[in-house]
Amino acid sequence: MAYLLGVVLFALAILVSVSLHEAGHMLTAKYFGMKVTRYFVGFGPTIWSFRRGETEYGLKAIPLGGFCKIVGMTPQDDDVDPADEPRVMWRYPVWKRTIVMGAGAVTHFVLAIVALWFAAIFMGLPNPNFPTTEAQFRAEPAVVSLAPCVVVENAARQCQPGDPASPAERAGLRNGDRITAVNGAPVASWGDMLNVVRATPPGPATVSYVRDGAPGTAKVDLAAVQRPPLGNATGAVGPVSAMGVGLAVQKPTMIKYGPIDAFGATGRFTGDMAVGTVHAMQRIPEKVPALWSAITGEKRDLDTPISVVGATRLGGEAVQNDAWQIFVMLFISLNFFIGVFQLLPLLPLDGGHMAIAWFERVRSWLYARIGRPDPGRVDYMKLMPLTYAVILIGGAFTLLTVTADVVNPITLFSR
């Protein structure tokens, strides 16, 4: 029941976001005097509608988005009443058309930023100082967390019966001990400890540590394991020593902020999210083979793109496991991604319409400077093949991600 509730709540949140996107177009268009004839939530048959002024508002049967009809978005629109000609969108100055077309994406950014600000206060945001890269982890103090065993072969798996116990645990080390030396070789960081332990032959070793501010030593019988070279997971596997510990990071993963400090935290996180979103979009083509592999039965890579269906399923999982932080961050990330995606200079996206408007403006300015007549507006009909290609590629990718999310979904929680 909790999973179903989460799915419904996330789907409703997406529907509200898309509806507000279209409302952004509508409100800015009306403000500038453009004629908006329809604003609907959903697609398909009309369930309910009413008319206020010159606009019909309503709800349609298929809740997969929404739309608003602005009269005369392009000169090629053939459904314009002659009386509406002075108010068609394409006749307005380029800056007004830019605001109207960009209002949808801006709405998503506003939703994401407002949600981030509230999350920073009531749930917390990821600690910007928490290590996320190998170099950052290696720079952390060598504070250990005892492993339950040592996996001898080079394999990323859980402990199994027959695996040797952790040498550190057998020697009496505890969670939270900070390693300072191994056989007299000083250790200042987690990276130092890895280097020193792997360079020490398997067998007895003297490990110095600090526990609750007091120094101590322990005799640890280092285990012989198979591992690739540090920093090169694909390198040749060789015999090295292991102590049976992991890194215990001493920094919180999430930080809550006051209402004022939350503005700065929101700004920093938004910047990080912008960079991450652009990088993720750049890597989409290289992830297509992994999506296909997931559909054909291979293990789903957690780094593969997901569709709205996948995001909704993850929202259901988050609620089922009482992980509301994940639910909120999914909502924030999805809105930010949609906002960036809509600004791409491709038809039929909002960014495509803005790009054409500014192309027309710059072209007219250049022609005026060289004494040539204004070439006028872009013929959208000539761009239809490119538009259809974008729709076809986008539709195929959407079908691929939706299929992967149905037959082999990403899951954040073990079942």
322 touches 123 (CB < 8 A): no
Q: State whether residue 222 is helix, strand or coil.
A: strand
Q: State whether residue 148 is helix, strand or coil.
A: coil
Beta-carbon count within 10 A of 82 CB? 6
Number of alpha helices (DSSP H) and beta strands (DSSP E) in the chain: 11, 11
d(Cα 367, Cα 174) in Å, to the nearest integer?
76
d(Cα 236, Cα 226) in Å, to the nearest integer?
10
Question: Rounded to 5, what percent of the chain is helix, strand, coil?
Answer: 50, 20, 30
Question: Pick from 319, 306, 273: which is nearest to 409 by CA?
Answer: 306
Q: Based on C-alpha coordinates, what's the Rg of the chain? A: 29
Catalytic residue among 22, 169, 317, 360: 22
DSSP character string of 363-389 = HHHHHHHTT-----S--GGGGHHHHHH
Bridge partners (DSSP) listed for residue 181: 186, 208
d(Cα 331, Cα 309) in Å, to the nearest integer?
13
CA 162, 167, 171, 172: dihedral to nearest 10 degrees? Answer: -80
d(Cα 143, Cα 247) in Å, to the nearest integer?
6
> For residue 298, which amino acid is it?
E
Q: What are phi and psi of 109, to 5 degrees?
A: -65, -40
Is 134 an active-site residue? no
Question: Pick from 104, 128, 124: which is nearest to 116 by CA?
Answer: 124
Cα–Cα distance list, 347 to 76, 311, 381 (Å):
15, 25, 12
DSSP character string of 39-69 = EEEEEEEEEEEEEETTEEEEEEEEEEEEEEE
Return the structure tokens found at 167.
């040498």
Tell me the catalytic residues. Answer: 22
